[in-house]
Amino acid sequence: MDPDHFFQTLLRNGDHDGVDVTSWLSVCPRGIWKVQQKQTHEGFQQNVSNSGDDASCSSSYRPRLGSLCRVRVRLKSNMDAAESLVSEKGDEKLSVQPDQSVTEVTEATAFPRCRDSLLQVPLGDWTTLRLGEGQCDITEACVEWMRVGEKCEILIYPVGTDVSVPLPAEENLPLCATVELKAFTPGKESWEMSPGEKWQWVKSHKERGGARFRSGDVWGAADSYSRALKLLITLHGHVGEVERKGQEQEAVEQRDTNTGDETQQLPSANEFKTIKAELHSNLSLCQFKLHQPERAKASAAKATQLEPGGAKAWYRMGQACQMLNELEEARQAFRKLLELQPESPAALNALKDIASREKENNAQLGLRLSKMFS
């Protein structure tokens, strides 16, 4: 089936009956994919969890950052059945069956990310996800706009016509699936969090990124580092205030405004800068391995500005410039690395390679010029 024809069908049915249709791009382990989503707001449940606890209700009845979400993702049996379903007026309403209250769940369902999967969740089973951890870009993006009892349909296909893009594990493309939200616990938007809570998220994202990178999940690692940086930016002003007021006074203020484990002390200005530099450097490595040299260079440049003594960042800057064939900038980066780590084998080998490439480029240029004037 033609994905554009399918989407037009969604649009025609999305003009009424409380149906919303949205479209976005998702960066998944196998590349960049377009996601088209149809969602209905008919008959959604006003209770946020099956426990009926009023305290678990948010003003918008939707999950937020940190919410434990009970979700189920199922594939359509075939695209003909999917088109038939979408063309009907009104969606099949999700019947919320008695289940363990999500408010009693303290951890998300444990399962690894898969490098050949788009949806990243066990298909057909109810699964508990913690919103904001980046287990699955597509599933989380759907869930964060849903309410209890709602179901949405999604269509996923690769951007462009590159036939070298491998098929996902979930079957043939375009991929059609449904996402259902059964229950969720309270969460917070980032601007509702205390600085201490944000700092805990930054550290967890950084740790998760390292674990994903070591397991070979470079896409997932890049996502984690990006999420950490976005939250870290919002802490910049508060960390500066901590330095001005002094750690002792700030600790008293935090105890007055936070409860429980949220009294975690924020980092010093120097630690903040070091962590930010490490995140940019780690993100640069991921982008380099994902064949995104322009982004890798930009991230490495930010890391070197924050920490001029960071050897890894200079090495990654040099690697990215080499991939971009910006040999003079690469030479400067590797020479800076040699200042920090004299006799570094990596820097010395890279400089030899640059000299060899320049010699080859000059020879090719000379040959072309001789042909022009012969």
pLDDT higher at 273 or 88: 273
The mean per-residue pLDDT over the stretch 133-158 comes to 89
Q: Are 214 and 282 in contact (CB under 8 A)?
A: no
325-346 pLDDT, tens digit each: 999 999 999 999 999 999 899 9
Q: What is the pTM of this model?
A: 0.76
- Per-residue pLDDT band for 23 (boundaries 50, 70, 90) equals confident
- E strand segments, 47-118: 68-75
93-111 pLDDT, tens digit each: 444 443 444 555 567 888 8
Ranking 69-83, 198-212, 275-289 by mean pLDDT, the lowest is 69-83
**Euclidean distance between CA atoms 299 and 317, whole angstroms:** 8
Residue 38: per-residue pLDDT? 86
At position 346, the amino acid (one-letter code) is A
Say how many Å lie between the first and final Cα of the chain, rounded. 57
**Euclidean distance between CA atoms 180 and 142, whole angstroms:** 9
Percent helix, strand, coil in the chain, to 5, is 50, 15, 35
Mean pLDDT of the chain: 78
**Euclidean distance between CA atoms 292 and 322, whole angstroms:** 12
Is residue 246 pLDDT above 80, yes or no? no
Ranking 51-60, 61-70, 197-206 by mean pLDDT, the lowest is 51-60
Is residue 240 pLDDT above 50, yes or no? yes
Domain boundary assignment for the chain: 3-189, 192-367
pLDDT higher at 80 or 361: 361
Query: Exposed, middle or buried, 256 (CB in 10 Å: 0-12/13-18/19+)?
Result: exposed
**Euclidean distance between CA atoms 218 and 216, whole angstroms:** 6
C-alpha dist (Å) from residue 82 to 12, 87, 150, 152, 190:
15, 9, 17, 12, 36
Record the tokens describing residue 149, joined without a space: 């009892």
Q: Are 21 and 14 in contact (CB under 8 A)?
A: yes
Q: Is 180 left (phi over 0), alpha (psi -120 to 50) or beta?
A: beta
Residue 77: per-residue pLDDT? 59
The SS3 call for residue 123 is: coil
The mean per-residue pLDDT over the stretch 191-209 comes to 93
Q: Is 171 left (phi over 0), alpha (psi -120 to 50) or beta?
A: left
* Max Cα distance, the chain (Å): 87
CATH number for the domain formed by residue range(s) 192-367? 1.25.40.10
